[in-house]
Amino acid sequence: MSEDVKLSHSAALILRTIDCGYFYGFDIMDVTGLPSGTVYPALRRLERDGLITAKWEDDATAIAEQRPVRRYYRMTRAGKQSMVRLVEKYPLLEKLTPAKRGK
């Protein structure tokens, strides 16, 4: 499926941000500078196309950090393959995104 997926520059940027370890919607907004009305529909499209997957985090993690339970996004295998092609297609993408961070 990922072979046929055509992504816009902002969708590619969001995918790259997730690849860099920013898993939450609002974190992606902060890193990319894109508004919520752009980031969330793009996340839905990426999820629909099978490039990312979304999951609710454990209650224990949220309770430990004194915050509500959040939904996070992770790259799939197809997403990683797409990312390789996207980096070739958009050479500046690597420069636009911050360094990878560990979870």
Partner 1 sequence: MDFPPIVLLPCRILLSLAALMLPQNARAEWTGEWFAELWCRWIAIQELGESQASGAWHLYITCAGCFRDAWWHFFESGGIRLLILDWVRSPQWCVGALLALLTGLFFATGFLPATRDIVSPLPYANASTIAVISRTGRMEATRKGIPDDLAWQWKKKSRLITALARCSFPKPMRITALNGAHEAVAINVTDNFFSTLGVKMPPHAAHQLHRREGVWLSNAFWRTQLHSARGLTDETLTVNGRELTIDGVLPPGFWFLAPTVSLYIVDSSAVPPQSMLVVRCIEHGKAGALQRELQHVAENAGYEFATTAPHAMFVQDAVKTPLWLFIFGLFVGVVMVTIAHGSRWMNCRETSPSLRANWRWWGFFFWKTTLGLLLVLLIGIEAFVGCNQQAISEALGGPALIWFYMVGCTLVLFASISDQQSRCRVCQRLLGFPIRIGCPGCLFLDWAGTEFLCPQGHGVLYVPHHVTCWEEADRWVLLEV
**Interface residue list for partner 1 (CB under 8 A):** 24-26, 29, 35-41, 44-45, 48, 62-63, 66-71
Q: Around Cβ 68, how many Cβ atoms within 10 Å?
A: 8
* 5 to 22, 39, 73: CA distances (angstroms): 22, 18, 18
Least separation in angstroms between residue 90's CB and partner 1 is: 23
| Residue at 27: amino acid letter | D
Q: Min. distance of Cβ 92 from partner 1 in angstroms?
A: 25
- Given the complex with partner 1, which of 57 and 85 has the nearer CB atom? 57
CB of 37 to partner 1, least distance (A): 3
Nearest approach in angstroms of CB 88 to partner 1 is 28
Q: Which is nearer to partner 1, 40 or 90 (CB)?
A: 40
DSSP state of 91: T
Which of 2, 36, 75, 23 lies closest to 10 in space, CA to CA? Answer: 36
Our measurement of the distance from residue 26's CA atom to the centroid of its chain's CA atoms, rounded to an integer in Å, reads 11
| Nearest residue (CB) to partner 1, 29 versus 75 | 29
